[in-house]
Chains A and B, each alone.
Chain A
Amino acid sequence: MNDSSEELLKTALYDLHVELGAKMVPFAGYAMPVQYPLGIVKEHKHTRQNAGLFDVSHMGQLRVSGANAAAALETLMPVDIIDLGVMKQRYALLTNEQGGIMDDLMVTNAGDHLFLVVNAACKQQDIQHLQQHIGEDCEIEVLADHALLALQGPEAAAVMARLAPESQELVFMTAANLDIDGIACFVTRSGYTGEDGFEISVHNDDADRLARTLMVQPEVEAVGLGARDSLRLEAGLCLYGHDLDQQTTPVESSLLWALTKSRRADGARPGGYPGADIIMRQISEGVTRKRVGLKPEGRMPVREGAVVIDADGKEIGHVSSGSFGPTVEGPVAMGYVAIDYVAVDTRLFALVRDKKVPLSVVKLPFVQQRYYRG
C-alpha cells in the first residue's frame, strides 16, 4: 500500500476530515479517516447509541440502465433483479466461473436505472467485468462525481426527519430521491453497522455542505473506518477481501439467504450466472467448510489469519475477521471452519502468538440488528 498521501485520491470530504482532526490512512487508494479525535471505541458506541456520520465515498457508485439492464445483471449474479420493485434495494453478489465471490454489492431499482454500490477495492474490476459481459446490453455509468455518506444509529431517523421529512416513509432496504436541506440526494435506508440508518448519494459539489449540515445536528458525530469495521463485525456482516473472496462461494460463506428463491434450482429463473452449477451443487450436496461466528473467551482479541484448531490440535480453519467489540465489551470474530465443527457451541481454539485461546462457535450477529422495517 502506498502511504504517500500525495498520491492518494481524496474524497469530497477530505478537507472536512482534516479540519475535524481525523487520522487519515491509505485505504483502497484513497486517503480515508480511520478515526477522529473521539477515538474508535467512543465513535463505535456513539453510533450504537446516537448517530454516526461516515464518509464512504471511496466505494464505487454505478448506474446501469437500458431496457434489459435487470436481465443483464442477472446473468452475473445469483440474485433476483428483474422482480426487484421500484425504489427497493437488495444485497447481491457477483460470482466467478468457480462460484467464488468477485464482490458483494447493493443493487437498488431507482426506476429508470439500477443503482449499484460496490467495494472500493473491487471497483475497477467490477466496472471492467460489467462492461465486458453486459456492456452491449445496457449502459454502465460510473458516478465518479458523487460522494456517499452513511448516517447510522438509532437517532439517524430523527436527524433525517428534521432535514427531510419524507425520509420517514422509508423502511429498511428502500430508496427515495430526497431534498436534504435543499440538496438533491439519492437516499437508501440501509447501512453496514447493524443499526437503522441511511446511505446518501450526493454530488461532490454538495457533499461538504451536506456533511456539515448533518454534523451540526446534536445527535451526530463523525465516525471513521476503524469503528465502521468493529460495528459491522459485531453485526455479523462480511467484509470483502477478508470474509469473502474469489475462492469462497456464497454457500461456504453462509450467504445462502442472499441467493433469491427465483434463481435457485426450483425457482422461476434457475442458474444462468457464473459458477451456477457449482453453487447449485453445493446447495444440494453441502460444502466442506463454512463461515461461522467465533466468540473468544477472555479479553484477548483474536485477529484475522489466526489458525483455528480442534481439541486434538488438528487445524480445522482460520479467522477471517477478528477484533474487540466495544458494544460486546469483548473480543469478537468470524471465520471458516470445517463442516464437522459448524454447530453452535462447538468448542475450538485459535492460535495467537503460539498460545491456545479457547473460543466457541456462536450464532451471528453478536449485537442484534436493529433495522427499521416499519
Chain B
Amino acid sequence: MSTIGFSEDHEWVVAEEDGTALIGITDYAQEQLGELVYIELPAVGDELDKGDAVAVIESVKSASDLIMPVSGEVLEVNEELDADPGKVNEDAMGAGWFMKVKMNDSSELDDLMDEATYMQSLD
C-alpha cells in the first residue's frame, strides 16, 4: 500500500512499501508558479539529502527550487518534463511527477503532513 505525504514547501511524496517514492509539486504550487517553461531535474544516481534544493522550476517570471522532502537516491526522472514542462500545470499530482527515489530513511515520511493537514495549511 502506498502513502502520500506533503511538505511545507509544497512537494508531495507517494511512498511505496518497497522503500521507493515518487516526488512532485502540489497543484497549489503549480498554480502559484504559473505556466512553467523549463524544469531542471537531477540526474539518475544522484544522492540527495532532505532539505536540498534539487530541481529548478522556471516560469516566465522566475525560477524556484524543488526542496527535497525526503533523502534518497534518484532512480528515475520524468524526462517528458524536458520537452513539456506544462505537464506539471496540467496534472501536478500525476503525469507531472518529477522523480522516483530510493529512500534512505522511511521514518522521514513521519515529518510530512497528511492531505487534510496540508489542505488546511493553505487556508
Give A contacts to B, CB under 8 Å.
Answer: 34-35, 39-42, 44, 226-227, 229-230, 299-301, 303, 323-324, 326, 331, 353
Query: Taking the nearest CB of chain B, how far is it from the CB of A52, in angstroms?
Result: 15
Residues of B contacting A326 in the complex (Cβ-Cβ under 8 angstroms)? 37, 60
Docked pose: A10 CA to B60 CA in angstroms: 25
Give the dominant DSSP class at A's interface. Answer: mixed
Docked pose: A303 CA to B60 CA in angstroms: 10
Residues of B contacting A41 in the complex (Cβ-Cβ under 8 angstroms)? 34-35, 37, 60
Docked pose: A353 CA to B36 CA in angstroms: 19
Docked pose: A40 CA to B89 CA in angstroms: 13
23-44 of chain B: CB within 8 A of chain A: 34-35, 37-38, 40
Given A40-B61, A230-B60, A353-B56: A324 touches B37 (CB 8 Å cut-off): yes
Given A40-B35, A301-B38: A226 touches B61 (CB 8 Å cut-off): yes
Which A residue sits closest to B82, measured CB to CB?
A: A299
Closest 3 CB pairs of A and B: A324-B37, A41-B35, A40-B60
Docked pose: A303 CA to B64 CA in angstroms: 13
Query: Taking the nearest CB of chain B, how far is it from the CB of A44, in angstroms?
Result: 7
Starting from the known contacts A39-B35, A40-B35, A324-B59, 16 additional A-B residue pairs (CB-CB under 8 Å) come to A35-B61, A39-B34, A40-B34, A40-B59, A40-B60, A41-B60, A226-B61, A227-B60, A230-B60, A299-B38, A299-B85, A300-B38, A323-B60, A324-B37, A326-B60, A331-B38
Residues of A contacting B58 in the complex (Cβ-Cβ under 8 angstroms)? 300-301, 324
Q: Is B95 part of the contact surface with A, judged by Cβ < 8 Å?
A: no
Query: Taking the nearest CB of chain A, how far is it from the CB of B29, in angstroms?
Result: 15
Docked pose: A34 CA to B61 CA in angstroms: 9
Cβ of A324 and Cβ of B63 under 8 Å apart?
Answer: no
Docked pose: A323 CA to B63 CA in angstroms: 10
Docked pose: A301 CA to B62 CA in angstroms: 9
16 contacts between A and B (CB under 8 A): A34-B61, A35-B34, A35-B61, A40-B35, A40-B59, A40-B60, A41-B37, A42-B35, A227-B60, A230-B60, A299-B85, A301-B38, A323-B60, A324-B37, A326-B37, A326-B60
Residues of B contacting A44 in the complex (Cβ-Cβ under 8 angstroms)? 60
Docked pose: A35 CA to B82 CA in angstroms: 25
- In the complex, how many residue pairs between chain A and chain B have their CB atoms under 8 Å apart? 46
63-95 of chain B: CB within 8 A of chain A: 63, 82, 85
Interface size class of B (residues with CB under 8 A): 10 to 19
Query: Taking the nearest CB of chain A, how far is it from the CB of B40, in angstroms?
Result: 7
Docked pose: A229 CA to B59 CA in angstroms: 13
Cβ of B63 and Cβ of A226 under 8 Å apart?
Answer: no
Residues of B contacting A353 in the complex (Cβ-Cβ under 8 angstroms)? 40, 56
Residues of A contacting B56 in the complex (Cβ-Cβ under 8 angstroms)? 353
Which B residue sits closest to A35, measured CB to CB?
A: B34
Residues of B contacting A230 in the complex (Cβ-Cβ under 8 angstroms)? 60
Question: Can you list, as one digit per residue, whether each of B1-41 has a CB less than 8 Å from chain A (1) or not (0)?
Answer: 00000000000000000000000000000000011011010
Residues of B contacting A226 in the complex (Cβ-Cβ under 8 angstroms)? 34, 60-61
Docked pose: A227 CA to B82 CA in angstroms: 23
Which A residue sits closest to B86, measured CB to CB?
A: A41
Which A residue sits closest to B32, measured CB to CB?
A: A23
Given A40-B60, A226-B61: A324 touches B38 (CB 8 Å cut-off): yes
Residues of B contacting A303 in the complex (Cβ-Cβ under 8 angstroms)? 63
Docked pose: A331 CA to B61 CA in angstroms: 12
Cβ of A301 and Cβ of B63 under 8 Å apart?
Answer: yes
Cβ of A301 and Cβ of B34 under 8 Å apart?
Answer: no
Docked pose: A260 CA to B89 CA in angstroms: 48
Residues of A contacting B63 in the complex (Cβ-Cβ under 8 angstroms)? 301, 303
Residues of B contacting A323 in the complex (Cβ-Cβ under 8 angstroms)? 60-61
Query: Taking the nearest CB of chain A, how far is it from the CB of B25, in angstroms?
Result: 17
Residues of B contacting A299 in the complex (Cβ-Cβ under 8 angstroms)? 37-38, 82, 85
Residues of A contacting B85 in the complex (Cβ-Cβ under 8 angstroms)? 299
Q: Which of A40, A229, A230 has the most CB of B within 10 A?
A: A40
Docked pose: A300 CA to B82 CA in angstroms: 10
Q: Which of A34, A42, A230, A300 has the most CB of B within 10 A?
A: A300
Residues of A contacting B59 in the complex (Cβ-Cβ under 8 angstroms)? 40, 324
Query: Taking the nearest CB of chain B, how far is it from the CB of A94, in angstroms?
Result: 29
Residues of B contacting A301 in the complex (Cβ-Cβ under 8 angstroms)? 37-38, 58, 63
Docked pose: A301 CA to B82 CA in angstroms: 13
Query: Taking the nearest CB of chain B, how far is it from the CB of A1, in angstroms?
Result: 14
